[in-house]
Amino acid sequence: MRLLITKECRAAYNMALDEAIFLYMGKNSIKIPTLRMYSWNPVAFSIGYFQRVEEVLNLKKCEDIGVDWVRRPSGGGAILHKKEVTYSFITEANNEFSNISTSYAKINRAILETLKLFNLNFKTACYKIDSNKHHLCFLEFAGIDILLNGKKVSGSAQRRRNGVVLHHGSIKLDIDVNLLKIISRTDEDEVLSKMTSLKRELGDNPGFDKVAEAITKSFEKVFEEEVIESVLMEEEIKIANELIESKYANEKWNYKRR
């Protein structure tokens, strides 16, 4: 399994790079599973593939404060990417990954193993526990989510094409309640009652590097294969740069509801 760690990238680049790896794998006969971990600079929101941005974010406030935003290639609700570890996993859609439920279950096992390394008392939401749709990913609970003390700490979404799966996920290190209130039209009580972070549960933020290391170890254990740190291929970089121009830094893509 290939490991890529690309910390502190712009929103458009983060999404373009994930899709570039996804597309490149789809057209190659040799498909090496790729785990990528990254963060965002500047702070950004990503909205789900099917969302209307005007219904989700206060765009004027985003501009005033300097918060970036981008439309993801995967579904789900909007996510504030600040003080978290974001990860993508791109792999061939075979065996467990030929099925949506089993693919989520396997990746969730790796994330649960990650939480075990921090001695956290987790529960999986293995059943539908919230029938109310919410525009923010971390304020809506579904069977694929991971909870700590009844609050969501990790969410995920997928896209499938040409026999390849792109899985997006994130683990919250901390929560900026004020920023969520200002930009995403929600209130503090709702955030604190449904959403948590490693800092809230541990009393301290373990930081990106420690959590990324724990995720790597957990993927090795669950997938029973070595995770080897690698670098981007030239073709992946080329595709990513093309996607930045054509999609992720392009208003036509970001404003369009699919």
Of 9, 62, 126, 137, which is the active-site residue? 137
Secondary structure (DSSP) of the chain: -EEEEEEEE-HHHHHHHHHHHHHHHHT-SS---EEEEEEESS-EEEE-TT--HHHH--HHHHHHHT-EEEE-SS-S-BEEESSEEEEEEEEES-GGGGSHHHHHHHHHHHHHHHHHTTT--EEE--S----S--SBGGG---TT-EEETTEEEEEEEEEEETTEEEEEEEEES---HHHHHHHHS--HHHHHHHB--HHHHHSS---HHHHHHHHHHHHHHHHTS--EE----HHHHHHHHHHIIIIIT-HHHHH---
Residues 6+ away with beta carbon under 8 Å from 97? 91, 103, 106, 165
For the question of residue 137 being annotated catalytic, the response is: yes
Provide the annotated active-site residues: 137
